[in-house]
Amino acid sequence: MISVVVLTSAFSALFFAMAQKDAQFYKHVDEVMANPNQWYGRSVQLHGFVEGTVMRRPDTLDYRFNIKKGTAVVPAVYTGIVPDTFKTGSEVVLTGRLEPDGFHAESIMAKCPSKYQPTDGSPTTGAGGH
């Protein structure tokens, strides 16, 4: 009986330690930039809008851009293939870490809300809609 209690306690402690280590926060740019020091090095999903020019280093997949929410802006870097809808003004969710020099994105998800909205102002319907 004592062995079962010890093993259960050990596995529970290990599970919670691993879950906390891999915990990821979903935050908006303005929330993070209100106190950036508390977010440095932590895994975050950062939500905002691409602002200004998206710069790409020639012959690479290295991107630099700004992400904004409200009046808060943070520079971001990403290396990899970006979604087709990733452009100035796009709503995005970046996964990565905030560092003193900006946000280092590991992945980008670009949203396209206008894709599913009707062009004539009428409500959309199920299958066969826009």
By residue range, what is the domain housing residue 74?
24-114
Asked whether residue 120 is assigned to any structural domain, the reply reads: no
Asked whether residue 15 is assigned to any structural domain, the reply reads: no
Asked whether residue 55 is assigned to any structural domain, the reply reads: yes
Tell me the CA distances in angstroms from 34 to 4, 17, 106, one per residue in order.
47, 28, 22
Measured in whole angstroms, the distance separating CA 58 from the mean position of its chain's CA atoms is 25
How many domains does one find in the chain? Answer: 1
Quote the CA–CA distance of 68 and 125 in Å, as a whole number. 33
Asked whether residue 129 is assigned to any structural domain, the reply reads: no
pTM of the model: 0.69
| pLDDT tens figures, 50-102 | 999 999 999 999 999 999 999 999 999 999 999 989 999 999 999 999 999 99
CATH of the domain at 41: 2.40.50.140
Asked whether residue 126 is assigned to any structural domain, the reply reads: no
Q: In the numeric block, which tokens belong to residue 69? A: 């929410």
Half-sphere exposure of 10 (CA within 13 A, CB side): 6
Asked whether residue 84 is assigned to any structural domain, the reply reads: yes
